A and B are shown apart, each in its own frame.
Chain A
Amino acid sequence: MMRLLTLGFLLSGLTAWAQTSLVPEIALHRVEDPATDTYTFGPGACGDTITMRWSNTLTTNVASCSQNPFKLWASETDCADTPGTGDKRYDDVPAATVQGIRAGSWTLKLAELPGFANVPTDGGTQAVCGSTGLSKTHHICGNIEYTLFTGQFCGTTGTKLAAHSFKLVYDTLPPTAPTITSSAAEDKAVRINFEYDSDTSNVTVEVRESSDAGEGEYRQLNETVATNKLIRATGLQNTVAYDVRIRAKDAAGNVSDPSASVTITPIDTLGFFAYYQEKGGTDAGGCSTGLGLIPTLIGLWALRRARKQARSNS
């Protein structure tokens, strides 16, 4: 009796596992950058249209009893099982396409996302794509209602949300200004080490000669990805004092206020080559020794002679 119970338990577990594994696994991503699940944009991108892609990643085909389509929509809230009021619907994908072709794409206009198109129900001011001082997140959702064929009859039913819901983030808020933690003078350059907040993607460096008082005299020189935590301002003059500051930039292109500035004077340095020259070295660089090619020429001559010999023997 006990054995029968165990067997039954195992069989039901196996069936449940098999049914679970047959449910379509659908992924959503942006065609231009399939690796990320978030696209951040600023006011400058409000006129853009982006192309999204869905793909059924289940490796085996599914014998589905249901003909329910795959629904796609954009929402200001987390993805629910079905589109809600105010959500922006996109064209449904037929179940046969989900099972057969298994992938497809559609386009959406950023300015028509529900957060920009809907009038707030609480009577607040309607957001417009392009307005500043605003941060808004939209979720791109997909869902299919399925009924699985269990071998004899249409059995289990359920709903399957897209495995990776995609986020579109409208961001006009600048990141916090980065902090300069240390700085060093280099040859015709200065090096800045910094800390940054999580919203920062890039950091730019600005310099002005210390003798210039005006704010407008700062000029932007270099940019680096924030994770480097180090940026160089290059192309400077040695022995001239510079005021140096940095700014953070986020993925949407918003730029922070400047950091506090530091004053640094690039210095004349001697690397190995210059130090060697200062000590009396005479090397001019380049292929400075034509004599060194003599063994190569001898080798080529010997090779040519050997091939000639081989030809005459044959």
Chain B
Amino acid sequence: MIAEFGFGILVVSLIVTVYSGIAAVYGVLNKSAGLVESARRAQLLTFPLLTLSSIVLIYLLTNNRFEVSFVYEVTSRSMPTYLQVTAWWGGQAGSLLFWSWLLAVFTSAVTLRKWDRDIEFLPWVIVVSAITLAFFLGMIVFFENPFTRFWLVDGNVVPSMFAPSATATVFTPQDGQGLNPLLRHPGMIIHPPMLYLGFVAYVVPFAFAIAALITGRTDDRWTRITRRWSLWAWLFLTLGLVLGGRWAYDVLGWGGYWGWDPVEIAAFMPWLTGTALLHSTMIQEKRGMLKHWNMILVILTYALVVFGTFLTRSGVLSSVHSFANSPIGPFFMGFVTLTLVSSIALLIKRWPELQSENEMKSMLSREALFLLNNLLFMSILVICFWGVIYPLISELFTGQKVTVGPPYYERATGPLFAGLLFLMAVAPLSAWGHSTLQTLGRAIWKSTLAAAVVTIFLTITYTQNIYALVGFFLVALVLFTTGHEFWRGASARQKSQGENFFAALTRLMGRNRRRYGGYIIHISMALMAIGILGIEIFQKETQGTLAEGESLNIANYTVTYRELASWNSPGEGVNYTRSVVDIYENGVYLGQLAPRIDYYYDAEQNMTIPGQRSTFRDDLYILLVDWQPVSSIGATFKIYVNPLVNWLWIGSIVFLFGIIFAAWPEKDPAEVSVRRKSARDNRQASAAD
């Protein structure tokens, strides 16, 4: 009964969503404010409806209602309640509902904003979000219904929403299959919601962009309204990626955080366009240029978000056959293609109205360097997209299955990432409008010198690897130039205001949140780059089978196998095999680590939990690969030394700080920008608010 109720609400939500879209179009074409208002309210209604439907699903999940096939697939009796709740997004059907619920949250929040100055956008924003929501709800209702139940028909178990025949009875399995153990990790509990928050939040800027195209209001208003949305979307997307990396590092047991897997790349691609967008909208706001390009970027980001949602959950890219066999594959591709084509058509129609208000004056101006940054991001995107798609093309045309793996991506993107680091160092020093080699050189020579000194120092003390040294030089250059920017601004303020240095620095940053938040993010990216360089270039590994008391040596470390125990934990449905090893560095005892293998009975799957010792210099990362169950005399260990990888996580914390700093609500951004544009005239007005 309760499952039917949940499904019924989904159907109602779909109808309400479709109505809101149609009413909005009809209302705007017939200039009926009443209909548009009705559409807005219908849109608002989707939020409580989908919340209710989600509550029903969570109720089913937490009450072991295994007659519901989704519940059977993702939970089991032995799973703790919090995992049963988060199993909501542990499978395709549930995560599509989660996606839709988030979209309802966001669009409701958007429709509740003050619209007085932008009322012409409202109906079209509703239309775009309604189309998106209707598409996802349609997928759920018709193909991936989380409320489908098992029925017993003539001795066969059949999944179906409603009774397939008059004699059919509901079939309830004893226990569920349980969530994939790999997903029962704190990182995996937060990683998908973060990623999805990022994905879904990008629908909002897209909706405004399309509204701007349709209404012909082609100034930078849409970017100003959605600037904070884009920033939060970017925050969540980045966090989702980083948390996913951390999860892989802790759980997947291959000593790394990123494997250039199509699923990872699917989440990375909207990040690339989103990051490019973040930079190029600034050009539009400051200089009134690149309006076409920003439209293209926001359209691409939206398409990649839908594409990514589809890829991450369906696994259809593994082969042409799984794509063709998946019921939702063709629909998703159809939807992506349709939105892409219609958005681009709209853009072409408005093309002449989106002319630049300014001319590009110098190839070294800030806007020119931002364009170069965009070129690099787009290049990385092309490499990623092609790498993900090519195996399908190969299979389709030649029947040959191929793998496009890390060597391809690393070789192709490495120089581009280096280029991005270089731009990160240089671009903040160039001026809007006009810069010359001379002005840039004067601004950067001290930092370059300092970075060179650091590099020489590293050459002597740490490494002679040329790639690493180039990377470290660029990282140091970013850190020095960015640090110098902070110092220059603060000391100028210190002089003029007579404040002490720290007061000057905090006030300066507080007044230019976006700019200094951006600088903090640049610093965080440089720190992350240290970690990436460390693990990519200097990772060491060894593997061996040891008897108790025997050791393996790697880098300066010695790892000695002490003991191993294996026991069942019936309550959790897990068998633990825990080994204990002593670790020494240059003969000095450091302590013990306990790599283990957890075997989950319900899912019949192993999970490898590494023993980790993390320092700023390197991580010692030990995996228990195998053991002899009977005698426990021999155990096989795989040991990695991952230099500097900790900086990746430190960088992500700095990143979090930087982006929250930048996105922290201050006065209405439109208000501030207006004020900045003509600071003199508006002084009194701005002082008042």
A and B bind: no
* A interface list, Cβ under 8 A from B: none
